[in-house]
């Protein structure tokens, strides 16, 4: 294997790796993707069984430390109030994401200029817009054109249904005169590119058995594989190796049998998310890069951003959707753009969800004391069953160098590779934003008719979005990759996942991660003759 | 209860009886629903508990030491372990699901109906105009 040199080696088959592979496939280069997980079988997703809710806390839990599947690696996140969520398989995090799919706003790329915080991105919304459009077509986006919170865009499919929950909350927003709009989602509301139409299973967060939710194992990858890209599953990368001339040589990885292997490549692309990518980079030490590959700036693993999430739910007297329907529904960006009078800079999106099934309803009720043990259990449960709905606030987190991913000195995965360690402190700005989001959401729920409201902020298990740990920029001393994803220090090493985000915006990041991956791939294709200059 | 006792069970008869008492105290039967100490539901609880026998046994030890009343009010990790386990089994029992007005089946492949809603509710949002910052 060591004499076999591929043209492009992609590490990670999730949201970004799939998009990049698809785009580069037309070059007819030899492209290989190494993925530490395997292929998922949609018929085995939880919604095909009676234990569909329980499995969301077991083998399909969002925390790798809880799942402990063979494809997972442990993460020491004890020193963070927000715990890491991820999934390791072909499709990566898109297997478990909700499919809530907003774009960044134009202002998100200009935070320094507009609000005097963090840094501007080295590209803008207009530059990324054609790649957003291409990605929308490939992933299949459902939504409604005309959202006044965004520049014009045209989702290819109609929006997901409002349902009883969405209608009730929309009435609350209207009562207050606040913005709402049907969410852009990757839930297919019609048959689309071989995918079936959504039938409202309601278990989107543990994989879609219907295949209506766009995970990249059923969107990008089939196209990329047909075009000649090879995906090697159950292959975990330990480190990126370096040639004497300072270029990446390839990787050392462990295959499905646990054998150590080497794969050389002309180009290496990291697509392993905002924790996995710095983990591999920091573990790739050499004489030239004693602190990890491409880390002359010292910024690899720093500036970790989550989206601190608030969760606010109301209890209603009328029956709502319960778990039926796609979990995503409508959004509000009433408080998205900065208004300093609110006591914080930047803003957030409300992602309105529907309800939960009986198991999760009972769990919430008993853990919060709303449902007692004993004879009154049933009456208390009935007051909550299918009568709870609400939202989460997705708050913009600003980059701070003390929020880090490092290598744990003791904890290792099954292959003996050091596990990542998370050190994260919630900023005062994020704390104030979370509190504000809880207060305003409570007003919305009351206006919608809720008789009781409860909340959690931040959601402790809500470290879904991992960004900023190998940031993009034009200054090699203040960034890890340039404005088109190439490492400043190693000119045949690229990064395309959320690590390269300069700021986090106040929206779910997957759509922008994928648009960026297509943008980086486009730059690579256009510069093939002088890619390393 | 004898059908629950098998030679390879990680739980002894006393532990199974204590789990039955806890389940029944947590969710007793009423005129519409069985209790969580119902034999079928308890068998599901025990089957589920076998995946994490050490944690369940530790929780039972704590419950016995504290007494059921104090244990139920403790909100301890041990208490949450048992509550979680009992709830996930209770609320997937066919009789319980049917009593909630739902069909006892998995979501897939039949799915569910959800109302499309009234999109004219968006009119006031549209009337307000653009709210994003031009750059």
Place of tokens 């709210």: B131
Stated as kind and residue range, the H or E segment containing A350 is: strand A348-353
Is A515:A131 a contact under the CB 8 Å cutoff?
Answer: yes
Place of tokens 């307000």: B128
Q: Whole-angstrom Cα distance, residue A66 to residue A60?
A: 9
Q: Whole-angstrom Cα distance, residue A384 to residue A377?
A: 11
Q: Whole-angstrom Cα distance, residue A530 to residue A510?
A: 30
Report, in this order, helix, strand and coil percent for chain A, each rounded to 5.
30, 20, 50
| pLDDT confidence of residue A471 | 98
Is A420:A278 a contact under the CB 8 Å cutoff?
Answer: yes
Of the listed ranges A502-506, B2-6, B89-93, the least confidently predicted one is B2-6
| pLDDT confidence of residue A3 | 66
B129: pLDDT strictly greater than 80: yes
Nearest to B114 among A51, A106, A200 (CB): A200
Verdict on whether the full-model pTM lies above 0.90: yes
For chain B, the farthest-separated pair of C-alpha atoms sits apart, in whole angstroms, at 73
Burial class (CB in 10 A: 0-12, 13-18, 19+), B116: middle
pLDDT tens, position by position, B34-89: 999 999 999 999 999 998 899 999 999 999 999 999 999 998 999 999 999 999 99
| pLDDT confidence of residue A285 | 98
Q: Whole-angstrom Cα distance, residue A258 to residue A234?
A: 9
Nearest to A48 among B25, B106, B134 (CB): B106
Q: Report CA dihedral (A434, A436, A442, A447) to the nearest 10 degrees.
A: -140
Q: Whole-angstrom Cα distance, residue A289 to residue A287?
A: 6
The token pair at B31 is 């005129």
Return contacts of A115-120, CB within 8 angstroms, 24+ apart: A115/A338, A115/A345, A115/A346, A116/A345, A117/A345, A117/A346, A117/A398, A118/A398, A118/A399, A118/A502, A118/A503, A119/A399, A119/A473, A119/A478, A119/A502, A119/A503, A120/A502
Q: Determine the residue of chain A that is closest to B70 in CA distance.
A: A373
Q: Determine the residue of chain B that is closest to A354 in CA distance.
A: B114
Is A244:A267 a contact under the CB 8 Å cutoff?
Answer: no
Q: Determine the residue of chain A that is closest to B21 in CA distance.
A: A374
Respond yes or no on whether ipTM tops 0.95: no
| pLDDT confidence of residue A1 | 47
Contacts of B105 in chain A (CB under 8 A): 50
Which residues, listed in sequence order, are joined to residue A9 by a DSSP beta bridge? A32, A268
Nearest to A164 among B115, B122, B128 (CB): B115
Query: What's the first-to-final CA gap in chain A, in angstroms?
Result: 28
Among B45, B49, B52, CA closest to B26: B45
Q: Whole-angstrom Cα distance, residue A366 to residue A387?
A: 16
Among A121, A240, A124, A16, CA closest to A479: A121
Tell me if B92 and A54 make a contact (CB, 8 A cut-off): yes
Report which DSSP code applies to B113: -
Question: What part of A 74-133 touches B (C-beta under 8 Å)?
Answer: 105-107, 109-110, 114, 124-125
Q: Does A191 touch chain B (CB under 8 A)?
A: no
A232 phi and psi angles, rounded to 5 deg: -105, 115
Is A204:A60 a contact under the CB 8 Å cutoff?
Answer: no
Query: Looking at chain B, how many residues does it have?
Result: 135
Q: To the nearest whole angstrom, how far is the Cα of A405 from the nearest Cα of chain B?
A: 29
A224 phi and psi angles, rounded to 5 deg: -65, -40
Pairing of strands A404-412, A418-423: antiparallel
Q: Whole-angstrom Cα distance, residue A30 to residue A8?
A: 6
**Sheet containing A181-182, strands listed edge to edge, beginning at the edge strand earlier in sequence:** A181-182, A328-332, A348-353, A388-395, A309-315, A452-456
| pLDDT confidence of residue A420 | 98
Nearest to A180 among B26, B96, B125 (CB): B125
Nearest to A161 among B117, B121, B130 (CB): B117
Q: Does A44 touch chain B (CB under 8 A)?
A: no
Tell me if A148 and B106 make a contact (CB, 8 A cut-off): no
Contacts of A150 in chain B (CB under 8 A): 132
Positions in chain A short of pLDDT 50? 1
B7: pLDDT strictly greater than 70: no
* Average pLDDT for B9-28: 95
Question: What part of A 380-409 touches B (C-beta under 8 Å)?
Answer: 385
Q: Residue B2: which pLDDT band, with cuts at 50, 70 and 90?
A: very low
Tell me if A50 and B104 make a contact (CB, 8 A cut-off): yes
Tell me if B91 and A362 make a contact (CB, 8 A cut-off): yes
Q: Does A362 touch chain B (CB under 8 A)?
A: yes
């Amino acid at each position: 294997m060591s004499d076999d040199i591929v043209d492009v080696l992609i590490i990670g088959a999730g949201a970004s790796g799939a998009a990049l592979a698809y785009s580069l496939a037309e070059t007819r280069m030899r492209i290989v993707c190494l993925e530490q997980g395997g292929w998922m079988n949609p018929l085995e997703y939880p919604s095909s069984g009676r234990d569909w809710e329980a499995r969301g806390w077991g083998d399909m839990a969002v925390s790798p430390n809880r799942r402990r599947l063979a494809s997972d690696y442990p993460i020491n996140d004890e020193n963070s109030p927000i715990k890491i969520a991820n999934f390791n398989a072909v499709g990566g995090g898109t297997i478990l994401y909700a499919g809530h799919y907003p774009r960044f706003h134009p202002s998100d790329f200009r935070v320094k200029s507009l609000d005097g915080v963090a840094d501007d991105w080295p590209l803008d919304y207009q530059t990324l817009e054609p790649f957003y459009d291409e990605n929308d077509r490939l992933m299949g986006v459902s939504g409604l054109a005309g959202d006044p919170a965004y520049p014009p865009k045209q989702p290819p499919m109609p929006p997901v249904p409002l349902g009883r929950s969405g209608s009730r909350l929309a009435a609350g927003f209207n009562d207050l005169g606040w913005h709402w709009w049907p969410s852009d989602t990757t839930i297919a509301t019609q048959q689309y590119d071989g995918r079936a139409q959504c039938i409202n299973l309601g278990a989107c967060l543990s994989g879609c058995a219907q295949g209506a939710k766009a995970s990249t194992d059923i969107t990008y990858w089939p196209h990329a594989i047909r075009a000649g890209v090879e995906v090697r599953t159950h292959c975990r990368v330990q480190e990126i190796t370096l040639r004497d001339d300072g270029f990446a040589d390839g990787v050392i990885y462990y295959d499905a049998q646990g054998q150590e292997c080497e794969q050389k490549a002309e180009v290496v692309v990291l697509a392993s998310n905002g924790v996995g990518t710095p983990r591999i980079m920091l573990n790739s030490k050499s004489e030239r890069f004693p602190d990890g590959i491409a880390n002359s700036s010292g910024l690899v693993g720093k500036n970790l951003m989550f989206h601190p999430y608030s969760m606010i739910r109301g209890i209603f007297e009328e029956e709502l959707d319960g778990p039926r329907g796609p979990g995503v529904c409508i959004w509000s960006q009433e408080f998205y753009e900065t208004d300093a009078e609110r006591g914080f800079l930047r803003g957030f999106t409300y992602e309105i969800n529907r309800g939960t099934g009986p198991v999760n309803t009972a769990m919430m009720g008993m853990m919060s004391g709303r449902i007692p043990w004993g004879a009154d259990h049933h009456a208390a449960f009935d007051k909550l069953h299918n009568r709870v709905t609400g939202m989460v606030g997705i708050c913009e987190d600003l980059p701070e160098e003390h929020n880090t991913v490092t290598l744990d000195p003791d904890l290792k995965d099954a292959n003996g590779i050091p596990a990542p360690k998370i050190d994260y402190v919630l900023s005062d700005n994020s704390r104030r934003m979370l509190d504000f989001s809880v207060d305003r959401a409570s007003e919305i729920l009351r206006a919608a008719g809720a008789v009781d409201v409860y909340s959690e902020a931040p959601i402790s298990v809500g470290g879904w979005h991992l960004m900023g740990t190998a940031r993009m920029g034009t200054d090699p001393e203040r960034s890890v990759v340039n404005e088109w994803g190439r490492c400043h220090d190693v000119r045949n090493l690229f990064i395309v996942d959320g690590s390269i985000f300069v700021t986090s915006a106040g929206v779910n990041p997957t759509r922008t991660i994928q648009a960026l991956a297509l943008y980086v791939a486009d730059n690579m294709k256009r510069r093939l003759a002088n890619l390393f200059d | 209860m004898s059908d629950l006792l098998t030679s390879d069970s990680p739980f002894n008869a006393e532990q199974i009886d204590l789990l039955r008492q806890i389940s029944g105290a947590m969710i007793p039967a009423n005129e519409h629903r069985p209790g969580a100490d119902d034999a079928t539901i308890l068998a599901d609880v025990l089957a589920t508990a076998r995946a994490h026998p050490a944690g369940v046994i530790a929780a039972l030890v704590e419950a016995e030491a504290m007494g059921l009343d104090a244990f139920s009010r403790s909100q301890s990790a041990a208490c949450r372990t048992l509550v979680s386990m009992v709830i996930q089994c209770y609320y997937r029992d066919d009789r319980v699901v049917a009593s909630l007005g739902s069909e006892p089946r998995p979501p897939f492949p039949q799915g569910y109906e959800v109302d499309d809603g009234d999109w004219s509710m968006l009119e006031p949002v549209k009337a307000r105009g653009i709210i994003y910052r031009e750059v």
